[in-house]
Chain A
Amino acid sequence: MTDFFLFVRDHADKLLEQTLTHIGLTFLSLLVALLIGVPLGILIARRQRLAGGVLGVAGVLQTVPSVALLGFLIPVLGIGVGPALVALFLYALLPIIRNTYVGITEVSPSVKEAARGLGMTPNQVLTRVEFPLALPVIFAGIRTATVINVGVATLAAYVAAGGLGEFIFSGIALSNVSMMLAGAIPAALLAVGFDFGLARLQQLSGRKLRVGALTFVVMVPFISAFYLLPGRQDKLIAGFAHEFYGRADGYPGLQKTYGLQLQPRLIDQNLMYEAIHREQVDIISGYSTDGRIKAFDLLVLDDNRHAFPPYAAAPVIRKVTLNRYPDLELTLNKLAGKLTDSVMTALNYRVDYQKESPEKVAREFLNQAGLHKQGVHSTGLKPGAGKSSERTETVVVGTKVFTEQYILAEVYRQLIEGQTDLRVVTKTGLGGTQICFDALRTGTIDFYPEYTGTGLLVILQPPAKTLQKLPMQTDSVYQFVQQQFRARYQMDWLKPLGFNNSYCLMMRREQAQQLGIRSIEDLVRYLGIN
């Protein structure tokens, strides 16, 4: 609990800013929903034939899950305020249209007839009789819409529109409970507070309600203005994943090493690539072998001061397995250095974007590298040997759940079965690092491809002192994890595959070339020039 209060105290500025953004976002969308929903509700109360259709469409929109709705909107509107506002607006629409419609149609027919009978024009009947009488019902709709929007507005953080969701999603990405609560508690309080306040307003009778409602409606644009307060804008706009923004080896590391100062927008990591492709942001965080680098023609900025720890990939294998199959080490080490960054990126690209199977991509890679089935002849076996029926011994390779690891699993399987008599079973569904590592330790799998940085920071988690002394270079980290894994877990890191799937910053290649930016140092220099 003290952690939480410390966090709130340290981030009070940001918290206030995000709360205001959150309120602004909620009310801006509410304003638009009022401007469109109330007239639409009145229209369908007048022309009942339209009511079924309009309410049906608004009802369907309401049932679309919020994340899915953002999914529909992003291809059309990109990221940022656009999709967030439109999603919030669509959610606010149904309660407002429906309650306006119901409120007006439920005004007693004899009252409406009396109003006409006294000589009111249709507009006078609406403004003097129907609307005031429908007001409590309409207001109930506004209240519902406000509360829904406070909740849904947390999702704005997915698409770089800010709000309290930034704390929540960053907190989840970093397993930082204080951060999560710093977003979740104010969001919950806002919802409860608005609900309570509007409920009080709704209970007022007659004239007081009309005055109160009018005051509220007049205030909405002003509250919305919170969102429009101009913020500082960088020359280049950065969009970072929540995890990258918060992790010590992510953005904070860059700040420390390069003195980089940005006002990054936080976006869901899968949307960043779309955002930079559409030029809504200019710099994004990511992983250096992501297939999307090739797909969207991005340039990975050089990190010559090694702010990002190296994430060199290498197979981690049990000592027991190595002792039982001494050939295996030789075979696996044949891949050493063969998979460079660009090769791995290209393989990822082919699977992710060209929808080729990992099996095919792996086979073609091995053929090109001259590693396919070579060993069959060298061991002197007859052609046709190496059929699985004749293989009696089995090794199990595990992977985490993402494309790169699936490809590597296929490469290993084809390589080993091509070069030895071993049978290979792949277990490709092993969630994250911890699950893979546990499977390896218990012997469920014999080896899996791991990254040195992950081995260091997630599995070994050395004390801060040790980390400070350790140079963040590919070789030194590799040697450190290899030595530690041997000593502690009786596991060995075989030779690195060659690529380094580390954090990186990237820009659109075209823009980077125009600005003459090739490295993070160049970027810092460019941002420093006014």
Chain B
Amino acid sequence: MIEITDLTKQFAGHTAVDGVSLHVGQGETLVLLGTSGCGKTTTLKMINRLIEPTSGSIRVDGIDVRQQFGPEFRRRIGYVIQDGGLFPHYTVAEAIATVPKLLGWEADAILERTRELMAKLQLPETILSRYPGELSGGQRQRIGLARALAAKPPVVLMDEPFGALDPFTRRHVRRELFGLNELRETTVVLVTHDVNEALELADRIALMDKGRIIQIGPPDDLLNQPATDFVREFLDDKPHRLHD
């Protein structure tokens, strides 16, 4: 579904992403895991061309992303960011309708799809006329996802989607959302620095450091056969007391 070859991005002399190659299969969930500044978010944003690569190629569904008009292309790819990235001046209903409207859907179809998503996400329809400021963090996150899924994109990109939630809510929302059939059929690329989140959600994990992929594979592979000490240490997320 997504084919990345030798992707590089340089910002003013500093290389953020350095020769990354990977592929993501249909319906697969790939987690880009790593410390802050390791290049995982930059990699993600190059997939939907929010950032233009310095070199290398990205193909989505067999077509080079650079051959497409950015905004139109992005409408076919779901995008979720921390805290939902909702517009403060859009109601919940308007937020969910954003992409379908950009795509020129009929009002009826938009309404039907909105209802469907609200039901799936177990959100009461009474909040449709509310503004993001009037929602809880968990609700905002769900609406953010509903907005990304509204136009039934084959690919969804998520950038630290649960980063703004407390650990308890985060676990809860995450399980609930990834339990949806709708998301299971979709190709997902998710960026996180949370090891547990990666282990729980990923079909495969790509662990990145300093712009390179250190190891890529199913969670078990990374846990059982770490390629380097860095991988072992990174995944060894158990709490350690200092000086024991």
Interface residues of A (CB under 8 A from B): 110-111, 113-121, 124, 129, 132-133, 206
Which of A110, A111, A118, A206 is in CB contact (< 8 Å) with B75? A118
In the complex, chain B residues whose CB is within 8 Å of the CB of A114: 79, 81, 84-87
Which of A116, A119, A129 is in CB contact (< 8 Å) with B87? A129
Q: Besides the contacts A110-B83, A114-B84, A121-B71, what 8 more A-B pairs have beta carbons closer than 8 Å?
A: A113-B85, A114-B85, A116-B50, A116-B71, A119-B76, A119-B77, A120-B102, A124-B71
28 interchain pairs (CB within 8 A)? A110-B81, A110-B82, A111-B85, A111-B86, A111-B88, A113-B81, A113-B85, A114-B84, A114-B85, A114-B87, A115-B87, A116-B50, A117-B74, A117-B79, A117-B81, A117-B157, A118-B74, A118-B79, A118-B98, A118-B148, A119-B71, A119-B76, A119-B102, A121-B71, A124-B102, A133-B88, A206-B89, A206-B131
Which of B74, B84, B87 is in CB contact (< 8 Å) with A133? B87
Known: A129-B87, A206-B131. A113 touches B50 (CB 8 A): yes
In the complex, chain A residues whose CB is within 8 Å of the CB of B98: 118
B48 within 8 A of A: yes
**A133 nearest CB neighbor, chain B only:** B89
For B55-88 the 0/1 string (1 means CB < 8 A from A) is: 0000000000000000111111101011111111
A110 to B163 CA separation, bound complex (whole angstroms)? 13
- Name the interface residues of B128-158: CB closer than 8 Å to any CB of A: 131, 147-148, 157
In the complex, chain A residues whose CB is within 8 Å of the CB of B147: 118
A118 to B79 CA separation, bound complex (whole angstroms)? 6
A132 to B91 CA separation, bound complex (whole angstroms)? 13
A118 to B75 CA separation, bound complex (whole angstroms)? 6
In the complex, chain A residues whose CB is within 8 Å of the CB of B48: 117
In the complex, chain A residues whose CB is within 8 Å of the CB of B79: 114, 117-118
B99 within 8 A of A: yes
Q: In the complex, what's the smallest C-beta–C-beta distance from A115 to chain B, in angstroms?
A: 7
Known: A110-B82, A113-B50, A113-B81. A118 touches B88 (CB 8 A): no
Interface residues of B (CB under 8 A from A): 48, 50, 71-77, 79, 81-89, 98-99, 102, 131, 147-148, 157
A116 to B159 CA separation, bound complex (whole angstroms)? 14
Q: In the complex, what's the smallest C-beta–C-beta distance from A335 to chain B, in angstroms?
A: 81
Which has the most chain A C-beta neighbours within 10 Å: B73, B81, B147, B157?
B81
Q: In the complex, what's the smallest C-beta–C-beta distance from B98 to chain A, in angstroms?
A: 6
In the complex, chain A residues whose CB is within 8 Å of the CB of B75: 118-119
In the complex, chain B residues whose CB is within 8 Å of the CB of A206: 89, 131
Contact A117 B85 (CB under 8 A): yes
A206 to B133 CA separation, bound complex (whole angstroms)? 12
**B150 nearest CB neighbor, chain A only:** A118
Q: In the complex, what's the smallest C-beta–C-beta distance from B65 to chain A, in angstroms?
A: 13
A124 to B98 CA separation, bound complex (whole angstroms)? 11
Contact B131 A118 (CB under 8 A): no
In the complex, chain A residues whose CB is within 8 Å of the CB of B88: 111, 133
A110 to B132 CA separation, bound complex (whole angstroms)? 14
A118 to B151 CA separation, bound complex (whole angstroms)? 10
Which of A111, A113, A119, A129 is in CB contact (< 8 Å) with B72? A119
Q: In the complex, what's the smallest C-beta–C-beta distance from B242 to chain A, in angstroms?
A: 35
Contact A118 B102 (CB under 8 A): yes
A454 to B121 CA separation, bound complex (whole angstroms)? 91
Which of A110, A118, A129, A132 is in CB contact (< 8 Å) with B99? A118
A117 to B81 CA separation, bound complex (whole angstroms)? 9
In the complex, chain A residues whose CB is within 8 Å of the CB of B85: 110-111, 113-114, 117
Contact A111 B87 (CB under 8 A): yes
Which has the most chain B C-beta neighbours within 10 Å: A111, A114, A120, A121?
A114
Q: In the complex, what's the smallest C-beta–C-beta distance from A457 to chain B, in angstroms?
A: 67
**B132 nearest CB neighbor, chain A only:** A111
Q: In the complex, what's the smallest C-beta–C-beta distance from B133 to chain A, in angstroms?
A: 10
Q: In the complex, what's the smallest C-beta–C-beta distance from A259 to chain B, in angstroms?
A: 65
A115 to B50 CA separation, bound complex (whole angstroms)? 11
A117 to B98 CA separation, bound complex (whole angstroms)? 12
In the complex, chain A residues whose CB is within 8 Å of the CB of B72: 119
In the complex, chain A residues whose CB is within 8 Å of the CB of B84: 114
**A109 nearest CB neighbor, chain B only:** B85
In the complex, chain A residues whose CB is within 8 Å of the CB of B74: 116-119
In the complex, chain B residues whose CB is within 8 Å of the CB of A124: 71, 102
Contact B50 A117 (CB under 8 A): yes
Q: In the complex, what's the smallest C-beta–C-beta distance from A244 to chain B, in angstroms?
A: 57
Q: In the complex, what's the smallest C-beta–C-beta distance from A190 to chain B, in angstroms?
A: 32
Q: Identify the 7 closest CB pairs spanning chains A and B, nearest first.
A: A114-B85, A119-B75, A117-B79, A119-B74, A121-B71, A119-B71, A132-B89
In the complex, chain B residues whose CB is within 8 Å of the CB of A129: 87, 89
**A132 nearest CB neighbor, chain B only:** B89
In the complex, chain A residues whose CB is within 8 Å of the CB of B73: 119
**B89 nearest CB neighbor, chain A only:** A132
Which has the most chain A C-beta neighbours within 10 Å: B71, B75, B83, B84?
B71
In the complex, chain B residues whose CB is within 8 Å of the CB of A119: 71-77, 99, 102
Q: In the complex, what's the smallest C-beta–C-beta distance from B140 to chain A, in angstroms?
A: 12
A157 to B74 CA separation, bound complex (whole angstroms)? 58
Q: In the complex, what's the smallest C-beta–C-beta distance from B74 to chain A, in angstroms?
A: 4
**A115 nearest CB neighbor, chain B only:** B87
A448 to B75 CA separation, bound complex (whole angstroms)? 89
Which has the most chain A C-beta neighbours within 10 Å: B79, B83, B87, B157?
B87
A129 to B102 CA separation, bound complex (whole angstroms)? 13
In the complex, chain B residues whose CB is within 8 Å of the CB of A133: 87-89
A206 to B85 CA separation, bound complex (whole angstroms)? 18
